[in-house]
Amino acid sequence: MEYRFLGNTGLKVSAIGFGNGLNSDTPDKLKITIELVKRAYSLGINFFDTAEFYGCGEGEIQFGEAFKALGAPRQELVISSKIFWAVPLNSPNLKKVNQIGLSRKHIFEGVKASLKRLQLDYLDIVFCHRFDEDTSLEETAKAFNDLIKQGLIHYWGTSEWSASEIFEVKEVCARLNLTPPVTEQPQYSMMVRDKFEVEYGRLFDKYRLGATVWSPLCNGILTGKYNDGTFPSGSRLQEFKDSPFLKRIYDLYFAEDKKEKLLKLLNGLANVAKKLGCTQSQLAMAWVLANQDVSAAITGATRLEQLDDTVKSVEFIKKITPEVNKEIDEILGNKPMPGMDVKSFGLKKHTRRELMIIKNQY
């Protein structure tokens, strides 16, 4: 396993983290969650991520039982959760209005409830699961600053915030002398690139912002299991095909007017993986981790073999050479523009990601 600093902090996290969003739907997933946590730890994973929203608390309950069964020293684990939704999105109960958002009330009550479910005394990181337009950044930042002072959390971060929102909260914290957020948790994969590679560039330069990215395998699309255009039994897109979130994934990638292009792309990636001697999942994960702006890539799993396969991707990071990266860019067809070199009135020679890949070779 490779370990990386969480941005500009002294905290080291495993390059691959384990998240349980997939295993938090029902209590009968507890057994496999315990097995997966034990296997993850044995493979060198020290970073575990969950949220109050996963299974409406069930994800945290399962992780709590899994950590107890694991029996590892607390100082060896980096555990994070996320605060924003403590109730289902379609909850009709108006009495629960204060269980959504980033008010001081919900942050304190949410974190304390998370700790109780996780059976922990403190969390290493708590993320704001989304931006709250209805609560002032001053209120949110002061709440997290106080949680740190009380020893209930060590760091705080954001998830799926825009660069401008992160810059704004950094300014608020500097003005009020508060501990600022040190990491962001955005989506990043071969299929979803622009926000991470372009919008956040200045944040990485100025603050060395940490990044624990989610869905590096793009909801399983990049694993190779859908390369023939069908949904195998037991696959996520087959098992949860009626959920609104996965229906959106289907519309984005598998609609009739997009399916042919997707399958050509997936089979092109399969050929690259074959040449490198890795699985398609390992190629997709190694591609994400080759970008050194990534502190950790969070993976989920429903079987031990999936976790074993994903962790081996660390061995292939160095194989994402500039030449391989260029070949993958040509297959994907979504490489961001490199931006303007204003001093020479032309385009920059390399994108930020390409510069990272070049740096990896030395």
Tell me: the pLDDT tens digits for 157-189? 999 999 999 999 999 999 999 999 999 999 999
Percent of the chain topping pLDDT 90? 78
Catalytic residue among 3, 41, 54, 188: 54
pLDDT, tens digit (0-9, with 9 covering 90-100), for 110-119:
999 999 999 9
**Does the pLDDT at position 56 exceed 70?**
yes
**Does the pLDDT at position 246 exceed 80?**
no
pLDDT classification of 343: cutoffs 50, 70, 90: confident
Instruction: Check if 250 is active-site.
Output: no
- Note the pTM of the prediction, 2 decimals: 0.94
The whole-number pLDDT of residue 345 equals 84
* CATH code linked to domain 3-220+288-315: 3.20.20.100
Q: For the chain, which residues make up each domain, given as ranges?
A: 3-220+288-315
The whole-number pLDDT of residue 232 equals 76
pLDDT, tens digit (0-9, with 9 covering 90-100), for 7-27:
999 999 999 999 998 776 666
For the residues of 302-360, what is the DSSP string, one character each?
Answer: SSHHHHHHHHGGGGGGGG--HHHHHHHHHHH--PPP--EETTTTEE-SS-HHHHHHHHH
The whole-number pLDDT of residue 197 equals 96
The pLDDT of 257-264, averaged and rounded, is 91
- Where in the chain does DSSP place strands (E)? 3-5, 12-14, 16-19, 47-49, 78-83, 123-128, 153-158, 183-184, 210-214, 296-299, 340-341, 346-347
The whole-number pLDDT of residue 92 equals 66
**Does the pLDDT at position 241 exceed 80?**
no
The pLDDT of 227-240, averaged and rounded, is 74
Contact call for residues 83 and 110 (beta carbons, < 8 A): yes
